[in-house]
Amino acid sequence: MTAKLVLITGASSGIGAATARRYGATGAHVLLLARNEERLDRVAEAVRKAGGTAASYPIDLADAAAVAEASARIAREAGIPDILINNAGAGRWLPIVDTSAEDARAMIEVPYLAAFNLTRAFLPKMLERRSGAIACITSPGSFIAWPNAAAYISARHALAGFTEALRSEAKGKGLSVTLVVLGMVESPYWEHNPGSRERAPKANPLLAPMLTPEDAAEAIFAGIEARKRTVVKPAVFRALFLLNALAPQLVARGLRRATPKSSA
Ligand SMILES: NC(=O)c1ccc[n+]([C@@H]2O[C@H](COP(=O)([O-])OP(=O)(O)OC[C@H]3O[C@@H](n4cnc5c(N)ncnc54)[C@H](OP(=O)(O)O)[C@@H]3O)[C@@H](O)[C@H]2O)c1
């Protein structure tokens, strides 16, 4: 697939910014969405340096009306994306009793509702064109659960459910739908979401090494190019998801044990 017009949400930082640069290197025109305009403009400059072109669209993706307005503006100014990458996300990992209603709502709004609303805005034209790709970026929290991250995990399950439902609606209509499941990535995520690193289950670094944003971007790029249903990186998580389907109590016990005691 030769990417011409690529829309990436959460493009101002970490994985989204690295993915934007990766597409820039293919000569793509990359539409960058996130709230922080200054950081988006810096990423746009990096995309240009990599060989592509870029435009920044500062937006709070939690605002459904703003999503409708921005998608109409993008369609007018740039056209319908060939590739739509729903990557924007945040999520404070907290025990349920410490999670406010506001926290829980914010975690559902972005990533899940943001991905729903943005996809919904472009889907009719993408289906009409019978080509292109949509990818959603998530974590193992879409398939397994550990203590002290309930609102985050619920939102990630919603995103995976949406991706699967989208795939079934798009089947046979020329559009590929990819769910990208990434293990831990050393990005600004951990500073943006205080307390999360401390509450993460400890993984074996030999089996599940920490990824760089560039590793993540390459996995996203290659998975979309190959029109894969699912990309899982590191691949060891596939075995964990399979084991979870066969022996959920065993996996739940292992995850409880791997969660740092002070946060359990
Ligand atoms: N880091 C990891 O270990 C890891 C692992 C698996 C999956 N993921 C997922 O990968 C995605 C990217 O994560 P990252 O590691 O690159 O984190 P990050 O550095 O914190 O980047 C998050 C991006 O989402 C944007 N964003 C957050 N809330 C938004 C909102 N309301 N409206 C618009 N944009 C918003 C942020 O931009 P602004 O602040 O400028 O709005 C930023 O560009 C997230 O969905 C994350 O959950 C991360």
Structure tokens at 139: 């974590």
Q: The CATH number of the domain where 171 resides is what?
A: 3.40.50.720
Dihedral, CA atoms, 141, 143, 148, 150, nearest 10 degrees?
90
User: Is 24 close to ligand 1, i.e. is its CB under 6 Å away?
Assistant: no
The set of residues, in sequence order, having a beta carbon less than 8 Å from that of 117 and lying 6+ positions away, is 61, 64, 67, 68
Query: By alpha-carbon position, which residue is closest to atom 47 of ligand 1?
Result: 89
Counting beta carbons within 10 angstroms of the beta carbon of residue 60, is it exposed (0 to 12), middle (13 to 18) or buried (19 or more)? middle
Q: Classify the C-alpha dihedral 221-226-230-231 as positive or negative.
A: negative
Residue 236: domain span: 5-263
Specify whether the CB–CB gap between 36 and 107 falls below 8 A.
no
Q: What are the backbone angles phi and psi of residue 28, rounded to the nearest 5°?
A: -70, 160
Q: What are the backbone angles phi and psi of residue 86, rounded to the nearest 5°?
A: -85, 95
The set of residues, in sequence order, having a beta carbon less than 8 Å from that of 93 and lying 6+ positions away, is 148, 149, 152, 193, 195, 196, 199, 200
For residue 189, the CA-to-ligand 1 centroid distance in Å is 6
User: Is 62 close to ligand 1, i.e. is its CB under 6 Å away?
Assistant: yes
User: Is 90 close to ligand 1, i.e. is its CB under 6 Å away?
Assistant: yes
For residue 171, the CA-to-ligand 1 centroid distance in Å is 28
User: Is 154 close to ligand 1, i.e. is its CB under 6 Å away?
Assistant: no
User: Is 13 close to ligand 1, i.e. is its CB under 6 Å away?
Assistant: yes
| Residue 262, pLDDT score | 59
Taking the CA of residue 138 as reference, the ligand 1 atom at the shortest distance is 7
Query: By alpha-carbon position, which residue is closest to atom 17 of ligand 1?
Result: 189
| Residue 261, pLDDT score | 75
For residue 86, the CA-to-ligand 1 centroid distance in Å is 10
| Residue 1, pLDDT score | 46
Query: By alpha-carbon position, which residue is closest to atom 45 of ligand 1?
Result: 89
| Residue 204, pLDDT score | 82
Per-residue DSSP letter, 13: S
HEC per residue, 132-153: CEEEEEECHHHCCCCCCCHHHH
Number of domains in the chain: 1
Please give the model's pTM, rounded to 2 decimal places.
Answer: 0.97
| 53-58 β-sheet, strand order | 53-58, 29-34, 5-9, 83-86, 133-138, 176-182, 230-233
**How many angstroms separate the CA atoms of 54 and 235, rounded?**
32
User: Is 111 close to ligand 1, i.e. is its CB under 6 Å away?
Assistant: yes
Low-confidence ranges of the chain (pLDDT < 50): 1, 264
By C-alpha distance, which of 122, 174, 160 is closest to 6? 122
Taking the CA of residue 40 as reference, the ligand 1 atom at the shortest distance is 40
Per-residue DSSP letter, 98: G
For residue 88, the CA-to-ligand 1 centroid distance in Å is 4
Other C-beta atoms within 10 Å of 178: how many?
Answer: 23
Q: Which of 23, 57, 112, 152 is catalytic?
A: 152
User: Is 184 close to ligand 1, i.e. is its CB under 6 Å away?
Assistant: yes
Q: Is 57 considered catalytic here?
A: no
